[in-house]
Structure 1
Amino acid sequence: MKYDWILFDADETLFHFDALKGMQLMFSRKGIDFTEQDFAHYQTVNKPLWVDYQNGDITAADLKHIRFKQWAEKLNTTTSELNSAFLDAMAEICTLLPGAKELMDAINGQAKMGIITNGFVDLQAIRLERTGMTDYFDHVIISEEVGIAKPDVGIFHHALDKMGMPCKTRVLMVGDNPHSDILGGINVGIDTCWLNVDNHPQIDGISPSYTVTSLNELQSILIA
């Protein structure tokens, strides 16, 4: 194989992240019918926060607090309680993307694997365990722990250090987000693969080494 290390993003690269379904499950447990309209309103707050987080303008703690502030006030609870309940629900409904398990099995023994995610600590271990994926990964690098989020090269340098500073030409970053995953990988000097399931147009100035529309397609490139 061309690579000694394959690094993966987590959400929408290995795992489905159906936030609406997770919110509906969480709120149903509180006796609330959480509608698509409620979700749309939540996303007007949540989405810009993730951009700020990736840009290093706010911390993971800020993001967790602000996104649930209105609901915490409405339900007379804490943002911390709502975050925990949401992540519990997301862990419960977690499923793998098509081809993820097959890809892991194909790469296992051929190259080492790691995860670099901007997601939160609470969700990662339980999700890997529930999907039977824990043993495939040598390292799981989580922005909340490191204190730096993708695309900042700092989190990639942290990962490379943990990996024993492998030759960068032998490392591939795979992810669905052109800004955090692909640009981050390019900036640190490693090859990148954009998982572009919905065939979005390529973004000017961001040129991945590979673009695939499925994990099966990536498998056929890697195990050629």
Structure 2
Amino acid sequence: MKYDWILFDADETLFHFDALKGMQLMFERKGVNFTEQDFHQYQQVNKPLWVDYQNGNITAEELKHIRFIGWAEKLGTTTAELNTAFLEAMADICTLLPGAKELMDALNGKAKLGIITNGFTELQAIRLERTGMTHYFDQVVISEEVGVAKPDAGIFLHAMERMGNPSKERVLMVGDNPHSDILGGLNFGIETCWLNVHQHERPEGINAHYEVQSLHELRSILLA
């Protein structure tokens, strides 16, 4: 095995993250019909917030608050309550990407495994537990707890310290987001694998060491 450590992003790398489905379930529980149009409007607020968060311009708390202000006012509740309800719904609908479990089984004992995620703390442990994945991971590093998000080198540095500072040449970062996962890993000086399930065009200047369309494909490469 070429690597001592393999680090994974969480959302859309190990876990499906169907935000529309999660929002619909959350609002259904509140007796509200949440339409695709509602979701489109929500995303117009939410998406730029994630860019701001990754760029270090806002905190996790600010992101969670701002994205739900409109709905909190409409429903006479708090943004904190809506966030918790949303993350609970996301945990309830959580499923693994095809090949995730098989990949973990194949790597188990051959390399140490970790997660570096910009996703929120409330969701991570419960999701790992419900999908039976907790025991595979030696480290789970969450941007909300570290205070910096991928692609910032600080979160990679923090992860490496927790991992006992292994040699960078022996670490691989796997993720679906070229800007946070791949560029973050490349800038930090570790090898990267872009999981490009939907065959997006490669962004200019971001050249992962590997590009795969599935976790099955990644398994073949790593265990070749």
The amino acid across from 1:113 in the alignment is: L
Q: Partner of 1:67 in structure 2?
A: 67
* TM-score using structure 2 length: 1.00
Show structure 1 runs of 4+ deviating over 4 A: none
| Structure 1 residue 80 corresponds to structure 2 residue 94 | no
Gaps of 5+ in 1: none
Structure 2, unmatched stretches of 5+, are none
Whether 2:126 is the aligned partner of 1:126: answer yes
* Superposition deviation, residue 201 in structure 1: 1.0
How far residue 128 of structure 1 moved from its aligned partner, in angstroms, is: 0.1
1:172 aligned counterpart, secondary structure: strand
Deviations 1:88-139 (A, max 9, x none): 0000000000000000000000000000000000000000000000000000
Q: How far apart in 2 are the matches of 1:86 and 1:115? A: 22
Percent of residue pairs identical: 78
Q: Distance in 2 between matches of 1:2 and 1:12?
A: 25
Match of 1:25 in 2: 25
- 1:149-180 deviation line (CA, Å, top 9, x unaligned): 00000000000000000000000000000000
Task: Look up the equivalent residue of 2:48 and give its one-letter code.
Answer: P
CA distance in 2, matches of 1:32, 1:76: 13
Q: Quote the Cα distance in structure 2 between the aligned partners of 1:83 and 1:202.
A: 33
Q: Distance in 2 between matches of 1:117 and 1:150?
A: 8
The total of aligned residue pairs comes to: 224
Q: With structure 1 as the length reference, what TM-score do the two structures score?
A: 1.00
Q: Report the RMSD for the aligned CA atoms in angstroms.
A: 0.3
| d(CA) in 2 for partners of 1:44, 1:186 | 29
Q: Say which SS state the counterpart of residue 207 (structure 2) adopts.
A: coil
- Corresponding position of 2:104: 104
Inter-partner Cα distance in structure 1 for 2:201 and 2:61:
33
CA distance in 2, matches of 1:96, 1:29: 24
